A and B are shown apart, each in its own frame.
Chain A
Amino acid sequence: MLANLQHLFRYRGLIQSLVARELKARYRGSVLGFFWSFVNPLLLLLIYSFVFTVVLPGVHPPELEPFALFMFCGILPWTWFSSSLLESSNVLIAGGNLIRKVLFPAEVLPIVTVFAGLVHFCLGLPILAGFLIYYRVPVHTTDLLWFPVIVLVQLVLTLGLGMFVAALTVHFRDVRDLLANLLTLWFFATPIIYPLSQAPPNVQRLLSLNPFTHLAVAYQEVLFRPGPFTGWPRLLAVGGASVVVFLAGYFVFDRLRDTLAEEV
């Protein structure tokens, strides 16, 4: 397994090119092209702002103004996470021809999906930065140094889960449908459109079993809330757990590898 992982490193050039291809191919033929990477999160932000400031004003604590921005800190990484997993679940089946006919490590495909999601996430960041500056949210420079760490933890976690669902879907096609519903549940079980502090204490304990809770809270603390970032021990713990998830996901993928070419 570790030898395969090392082998995978040699394919980084391919991963890079495939990510570029993925991004180019996605918006080929659309009028706005790459601009959609900005427009999509912006529209999402508009929708949530409408719901939570016009339809349901005052359900959130006043210190979280502007609330839309608070939500955006969580929605942007969540979009990366959920879309990567959903696409990963389909990627081996869509690329079935490749797996059956060309010799190359199949895990490249889910990895490319996750990295393509990362690029979209990064393209959404200027929008977030623009709003942070517009609303004059005070941001600590030392806090910002934690930002890449959070992204890295999320990347490792998503890669592990992505490979897991990718390999599993080949054997059980209904993982896709199951996953879509699971992700909806997961979204509401993560403090993205509400602050964690608003949940009752026993529910808070339950929510903290969810690794993405800590990631979302970390994003919010680093980008939105004032004061030094205090959640870093928890972030590092989630980081450790993510490495375990990654290795476990890779292990499952590696074990199912030989059956992939016959099953897709």
Chain B
Amino acid sequence: MSAIEIRGVRKIYRRYGRRRQFATLKSALLSGRIMRDLQPDETFEALKGVSFDVAAGKTFGIIGRNGSGKSTMLKLIAGIGRPTEGTVRVEGRVSALIELGAGFHPEISGRENVYINGMMLGLTKREMAARFDDIVRFAELEEFIDAPVKTYSSGMYMRLGFAVAIHVDPDVLLVDEVLAVGDEAFTHKCLDKFAELRRRGRTVLLVTHSLDLVKRFCDEALWLDGGVAKAQGDPQRVVDAYLMAVAKTENEELAASDVGRATAPHRAGATGAPPEGPPAPHAVEAPPDMFRAVEGRWGSREVEIVGVDLVGPEGQPSHVFQSGDPLEIRLRVHPSEPVRDFVFGVGIFNADGVCCYGTNTHIEGAVSGELASDGEVTFAIERLDLVDGTYKLDVAVHRENGVPYDYHRLLYTFRVKSSLKEAGIFRPPHRWRFSGGIRISGPQ
């Protein structure tokens, strides 16, 4: 039996243009266009025909980017809005954690607000009286419950709102990204409460950006993108599909910004010879960037770096890498005439502009012979042990004394992903060992 049944739901929001905002009843009446003013100027389709079922007693997660229609879906299920097309059927009492404490009146005490909030959620006064003590204990507000709500801190306010909503004991609980309302301990309490609801066979629908939560808690997940259901089913599979799509778009965005930036210096009139080769068509539209002031390309161009590729473990050029994966930086170089004095260099910078690592062939003892014709230089990193973040790359070819042939400053961006959110820059390969009276499980 399904607790929630969504069939072909479309939701079209109306957007009113300028005219509507300044139109008033008076002007509408005067010009007799009251009906026309009530017609929307344009529409926005937040949900484009979504169908799914949530089985009773299951915990169901909805993920997706901002603006994908998650919250709209939640509101429709809560009954706050109605679908433009399709049907929404929900079995049993619904309680929605959409905005905590939305109904609180600042001037009256927490006690009265708890009663009123509960009754708004559909309980009777007697039912509220039976739950009151539990609610106050859960919110940890025993001392302040008789003070006016306006004196509460925002954390207290949220906790009280959460406590009321969750004690309504709904058959179906809808949660919209509200778990970040308290300290660690309170978040754990909330999760415990969800687990308890689950044990008692209640249906929970979770809209969240915390993929971890979906993987850990949900029996099933749905991925919405642009108002369309992209994937549904096993949470691990859905989350991975979502992550892959996010990485792909990021990759495309970064690739697009590289093209724009690498060609920018031509226009800026870098030192040395005029640019050779056709300038990229979108050179003039190089996006403004925080690195702009320090980036660029310069050098005499007797040797030119004509292409830079970042190659991941699959052997394909990419811009997103997993921490710990191998990475190859490949430079294609083109000398306009043979040179005998040349050094290749590479530098990696993090988003704060800190140099994470920099080296060149001269520092490492290589002695240049001759660079006569086109070639490829590969800087192979066996393990990319950087922490999660965005990085920029310097590549250069210059003389031993430092005079550059071609220097590309922070022109290439790549992203390092890691499931761990460690601090710092560098992740040395490491392991934990414990001995003596320490019992611990987890990190390997």
Query: Which residues of A are at the interface with B, using a C-beta cutoff of 8 A?
Result: 11, 13-14, 17-18, 20-21, 24-25, 28-29, 97-98, 100-104, 171-175, 178, 258, 261-262
Contact = CB atoms under 8 A, between A and B. Distances in A.
B111 to A, nearest CB: 11
Interface stretch (B21-29, B138-146, B281-289): B21-29
A178 B30 CA distance: 14
A258 B120 contact: no
Interface in B88-122: 94, 96, 98-99, 102-103, 105, 107-108, 112, 115-116, 119-122
Given A25-B108, A98-B103, 16 more contacts: A11-B119, A13-B119, A17-B112, A17-B115, A17-B119, A17-B125, A29-B107, A98-B102, A100-B80, A101-B102, A104-B120, A172-B24, A172-B25, A172-B28, A173-B24, A261-B75
B339 to A, nearest CB: 69
B124 interface: yes
A256 B25 CA distance: 16
A24 to B, nearest CB: 6
Chain B contact-residue range equals 20 to 34
A261 B81 contact: yes
18 contacts: A13-B124, A20-B112, A24-B112, A25-B105, A25-B108, A97-B99, A98-B103, A101-B102, A102-B80, A102-B96, A102-B98, A102-B99, A102-B102, A172-B28, A173-B24, A178-B25, A262-B13, A262-B81
A101 B80 contact: yes
B26 A178 contact: yes
A175 B34 CA distance: 14
Given A13-B124, A21-B105, A172-B28, A103 B112 contact: no
A262 B14 contact: yes
Contacts of B38: 171
Most chain B C-beta atoms within 10 Å of own C-beta, residue among A13, A25, A28, A171: A13
B63 interface: no
A102 B120 contact: yes
Q: Per DSSP, are chain A's interface residues mostly helix, strand or loop, or mixed?
A: helix
B82 interface: yes
B147 to A, nearest CB: 12
Nearest to A174: B24
Nearest to B75: A261
Most chain B C-beta atoms within 10 Å of own C-beta, residue among A13, A14, A29, A178: A14
A87 to B, nearest CB: 15
Interface of B: 13-14, 24-26, 28, 38, 75, 78-82, 94, 96, 98-99, 102-103, 105, 107-108, 112, 115-116, 119-122, 124-125, 148
A232 B96 CA distance: 50
Across the A-B interface, the 6 shortest Cβ-Cβ residue pairs? A172-B25, A101-B102, A14-B119, A101-B99, A25-B107, A174-B24
B125 A21 contact: no
Contacts of A100: 80
A6 to B, nearest CB: 15
B80 A103 contact: yes
A20 to B, nearest CB: 8
A102 B115 contact: no
Contact of B116 (A18, A101, A172, A262): A18
Contacts of A174: 24-26
A22 to B, nearest CB: 9
A62 B81 CA distance: 60
Contacts of A25: 105, 107-108
Nearest to A13: B125
A213 B201 CA distance: 60
A104 B102 CA distance: 12
A262 B72 CA distance: 11
Contact of A103 (B24, B79, B119): B79
A110 to B, nearest CB: 15
Nearest to A29: B107
A234 to B, nearest CB: 32
A261 B105 contact: no
Contacts of A24: 107-108, 112
A175 B25 CA distance: 7
Contacts of A102: 80, 96, 98-99, 102-103, 120-121
Contacts of B99: 97, 101-102
Nearest to B81: A261
Contact of B102 (A13, A28, A97, A261): A97
A85 B108 CA distance: 24
Contacts of B25: 172, 174-175, 178
Contact of B108 (A21, A104, A262): A21
Contacts of A98: 102-103, 120
A258 B82 contact: yes
A42 to B, nearest CB: 25
A100 B74 CA distance: 12
